Amino acid sequence: MIQINENYKKLKASYLFSDIAKRIGKFSEENPSAQIIKLGIGDVTRALPRTCIEAFHKAVDEMSADNSFHGYGPEQGYSFLREKIAEMDFKSRGTGITADEIFVSDGSKCDTGNFQELFAQDLKIGVPDPVYPVYVDTNVMAGRTGEWKDGRYQGLYYLDSIEENNFVPDLPSEKLDLIYLCFPNNPTGSVATKTQLKAWVDYALKNKALILFDAAYVAFIRDNSIPQSIYEIEGADKVAIEFRSFSKTAGFTGTRCAYTVVPKNCQVYSSNGNIESLHSMWNRRHCTKFNGVSYPVQRAAEAVYSAQGQVEVKELTDYYLKNAKYILEKMQSFGFKCTGGDNSPYIWINGQRDSWEFFDMLLSKAQVVCTPGSGFGKCGEGYIRISAFNSYEKVVEAMERIAKAI
């Protein structure tokens, strides 16, 4: 008899975005002429930068001739891309990350979800609340949690990200082994200062813990005092992994390219306390289960680092940041307490009412779709997330409609 992994039964039946899609579907059916503006799901709306497209086309053409064709590439990524990443994303920030510590992949969703495979079952795991759901669900699937009770999984340690701590979780009183952090944050849009990140790194060093640092939104940081990489903090290379993605940086959500940094210095332990190499373990895992990102996509990603590519990705993220600023200012002028929206494409809004009630009100009265904060965790109740990923014109119209609706 083929038996299932019973842990899957613990997963909450429906995924946040399918709930949202159902409500939109029902509303559209009942109001077929409604012009809905979507500021919900965090998918980009603007085309790939010109320079990336040109590199992409050129690489596709190379695939059409035997003498320039590329078959399987290195699982870890082509060195032309890894070298550029090391130079431009890390060396330029004064960190010592090298190309062989970078693992190119087809997305940070997979990497943040897969990384937990390398660790023991009985870990104490800290996850922010609210949270990008992938960190939680993949640990549920792996059997590291108990049942879902009162809006949380038993056995996980939730790190409350609330107004009182500016949505940057406080250090836990317990000794955790694995900690997920994400800055600029999805969904709250908060950023962590150097002092706040240092406190986490010091905590991890002291407790022999590991931080999984998700920097998928790093390209939106404009405040120079905010660290762009956790490796800007001394000692972080011993206790932190960093996830980066071209999805939001350069509009690659449908093209798929990301990377994970696993420093060779990173220390993890076997059950007898011996130090093990996390770098070797991830390399082994990556080579066994992954066969590389396609050559044209890696060439397109490489183009992000050219002089013209840098100008274009800055223009792209500036565009969304302009939307974010507009949303932030408008929502504040309507009397809502908000965070995010300056170094982030997300605005986290205290709606002072049930998240889904606010969602339904915006959908029915303004035909604007947001994301209910409660879908990201218990601490998200009462909030909604509005995303800046849409055209400026649509954003302006959405804010006009919201003004009338409220």
* Triad 135, 140, 141: Cα angle to 5°: 100
If one asks whether residue 40 binds ligand PLP (CB under 6 A), the answer comes out as no
Residue nearest to ligand PLP (CB): 107
Supply the minimum distance, in Å, between the C-beta of residue 405 and ligand PLP.
Answer: 27
How does DSSP classify residue 4? P
If one asks whether residue 109 binds ligand PLP (CB under 6 A), the answer comes out as yes
Calculated CA dihedral for residues 80, 84, 85, 88, nearest 10 degrees: 180
Residue whose C-alpha is closest to residue 359's, from 2, 20, 6, 16? 20
Supply the minimum distance, in Å, between the C-beta of residue 341 and ligand PLP.
Answer: 16
- Residue at token pair 């049930």: 354
Give the range of 80-88, 106-114, 275-283, 324-332 binding ligand PLP by CB under 6 A.
Answer: 106-114
Q: Which tokens sit at 152?
A: 């949380």
If one asks whether residue 38 binds ligand PLP (CB under 6 A), the answer comes out as no
If one asks whether residue 42 binds ligand PLP (CB under 6 A), the answer comes out as yes
Determine the Cα–Cα distance for residues 380 and 349; give it in Å rounded to an integer.
10
Give the range of 13-21, 62-70, 108-116, 366-374 binding ligand PLP by CB under 6 A.
Answer: 108-116
Interface with ligand PLP (CB under 6 A), residue from 258, 266, 316, 395: 258
Nearest residue (CB) to ligand PLP, 253 versus 364: 253
Nearest residue (CB) to ligand PLP, 111 versus 177: 111
If one asks whether residue 108 binds ligand PLP (CB under 6 A), the answer comes out as yes
Interface with ligand PLP (CB under 6 A), residue from 40, 49, 77, 107: 107
Determine the Cα–Cα distance for residues 395 and 402; give it in Å rounded to an integer.
10
Supply the minimum distance, in Å, between the C-beta of residue 76 and ligand PLP.
Answer: 17
Give the range of 29-37, 87-95, 105-113, 393-401 binding ligand PLP by CB under 6 A.
Answer: 105-113
If one asks whether residue 371 binds ligand PLP (CB under 6 A), the answer comes out as no
What residue ranges bind ligand PLP (CB under 6 A)? 42, 107-109, 112, 132, 182, 186, 214, 216, 245, 247, 253, 258
